[in-house]
Amino acid sequence: MTIGVVGSGAFGTALAVALAGKGRVTLWTRSAEQLREMAEQRSNAARLPGVTLPDALSVTGDLADLAGCEALLLAVPMQKLRGLLQQEAASLEGRTLVACCKGIELDTGEGPVSVIAECLPGARPALLTGPSFAADIARGLPTALTLACADEATGAALQGALSTEMLRVYRTTDTVGAELGGALKNVMAIACGAVMGAGLGESARAALMTRGYAEMVRLGVALGARAETLAGLSGFGDLALTCTSEQSRNYRLGLSIGRGEAFDPTVTVEGAATARAVAAKSRGMGIDMPITFAVEALVSGEHTIAEVMSRLLARSLKPE
């Protein structure tokens, strides 16, 4: 299966680098500056410093050059996915499209697979998610991901095409669970970063991760996800990684909030928009998600870390 990658951010470039070890891969970028750098210098230094693009990786600024690819990995931010699908509908309709973003669309409350299906009914949508940092994938470090696709045959074909010696892909048909795991863990990572940034300690972070996971399962099951999906790579696995490493942009945002420091507004942090979207959805469903509500208040500036922690600790005692 020939692969094309749409989006030249760190994750898209890393996937293209890893998959080029198996065969030809084409990477599309809308940035003329990035295109020139990658074509001439064989690097994407701003996004993946120290990584050389392999010879089997071709770079283009014309989406038509991906017409021969049997599957396209859409490595764009969640909040920009719908715009890409609408703008490039003629080139993408009817294709096998694998979303590589994690989040919930702010305006609709939908995940990436749902957005693809809505925008392009003839496409075959899937999702690649799980505990991974772009730098690790690009350097060829061992990584395991989840490929979620409702169609068994398409999922099996993608699993084989996207697996390498160092990139192990598991598959599931539970697209809802995979979507929610990848989205909600970002919200919990902001909470954990805030706790650590404020100096509240490792014990507090462990408590937030555990109770945050309970929130993920609570909402996921209510929306039709399988609990075992959320216990896997796309849920618990990604939660463990993102809540404990400063490589995570969501965790770094939380750190800056906890420390009372400014955060670079040009850095995409999916968890901030996801917290707002999930809070609205869960309130409408009558589902209690106190940590998500707290993160919503933090990223909006409505409350301080001291105020939200006081509210969380003052909640009524109950069985676990």
Active-site amino acid positions: 185
> Residue 23 class from Cβ within 10 Å (0-12 exposed, 13-18 middle, 19+ buried)?
exposed
Taking the C-alpha atoms of residue 111 and residue 270, their distance in angstroms, rounded to an integer, is: 12
- The set of residues, in sequence order, having a beta carbon less than 8 Å from that of 286 and lying 6+ positions away, is none
Dig out the tokens for 271 from the structure.
């968890």
Taking the C-alpha atoms of residue 111 and residue 106, their distance in angstroms, rounded to an integer, is: 10
In the chain, helix, strand, coil percent, each to 5? 50, 10, 35
- In a 13 Å sphere around the CA of 310, the CA atoms on its Cβ side amount to 5
Torsion, Cα 219 224 226 229, to 10 degrees, reads -70
